[in-house]
Amino acid sequence: MTNSMLRSLGKLFFAGSLIFMSAAFAEDQREPMSEADLRSMLPFSSDATVKYAVCGKKTYPTCTYIWGAPDSDDAARVKLGGKPEGDTLMTIFAQARSVQDFDRVLGVYSDAEPVENLGANAVWSAKRNQLSLITADNMIIHVNVDVAGLANPKATAIEVATFLLAQ
């Protein structure tokens, strides 16, 4: 093989790698939901605002939303590496290899109750205030709702999950 052929082969390999890496990278990237979307699904008091809306990859792509009335201590908490106080919604996304991987999720819930018509399989845990589901393409999604005084966190988690699945 000539140097020119090797360079061309290397460029082709590099271009193919970029396409593959871009697709894999895009799967890990999540954009935070807008405040309007959050307000349509979650209870906000009249003086509440979104204080924190961050999506990033920890172990898995995770989005955390915190809202409430503005608090003068929030800036100090954030400056020290913490998060502001308030009601919280967290969404976590994990790509499974097969639907059987969802069995591990089910294994950690002692109070799993089935949720019908959501993904390929879904369960609610009242102890955790968390909904977990797996889609037909084996994406596992967890929706954790920590909202003070929320009458029906399960219904709220289902609404958020339905919104995420429609995206």
CATH number for the domain that contains residue 120: 3.40.1000
Instruction: Output the 3-class SS for 40-63.
Output: HHCCCCCCCEEEEEEEEECCCEEE
Same domain, 1 and 64: no
Q: How far apart are CA 50 and CA 135, in angstroms?
A: 29
Tens place of pLDDT per residue across the chain (167 aa): 444 333 333 333 333 333 333 233 335 567 899 999 999 999 999 999 999 999 998 788 999 999 999 888 888 888 888 899 999 999 999 999 999 999 999 999 999 999 999 999 999 999 999 999 999 999 999 999 999 999 999 999 999 999 999 98
Instruction: Give the C-alpha separation, 65 to 140, whole Å.
Output: 19
Domain extent at residue 65:
31-166
Secondary structure tally for the chain: helices H, strands E: 5, 7
Could you tell me the pTM of the whole model?
0.79
152 and 90 housed in the same domain: yes
Q: Which tokens belong to 132?
A: 């977990």
